[in-house]
Structure 1
Amino acid sequence: MPLYEYSCEQCGAVVELLQKMGTTEAGVPCPSCQGERLKKKLSVSAPARQAEGGAPCGSASSAPHGCSGCCGSCQ
């Protein structure tokens, strides 16, 4: 599940919520003021990690068997 960032239009608090993709902010109360006027903020994604040798993490060229091992999913 992705982590979404919201700002409260009533009190200005910024909150991060772990929600299913496609979920809207409707009905989610602000943890600071309990108001229900949260607005989803535009977030910047994290940069891709680099494996040893400069290949992008998880690319087939970063290891002979096709996995760089950087995320631990193949181990």
Structure 2
Amino acid sequence: MNKNNLINLSTDTLETVIDQLIDNELVKSIPVVNTAVNVMAIGRSIRDVLLAKKLKVFFDALDEVSDEER
């Protein structure tokens, strides 16, 4: 397993743990955890916006391709 795979695996694992903590109201009442959860939510939101922009560019470019070329 190379370094990039390990980093991706660690990130995915951390994200899963945080997702579980988000649902726990007791944990959310801890200020530091609540701040971390909010920061993660902002990061996801930014990722979603960037993906939406990329998809829009892709679909706009796809409109310019003729049916025969597809």
Task: Note whether the superposition's TM-score is higher than 0.5.
Answer: no
TM-score tier by shorter-chain length is under 0.3
Structure having the larger proportion of residues in helix: 2
Bigger strand fraction: 1
TM-score (norm 2): 0.26
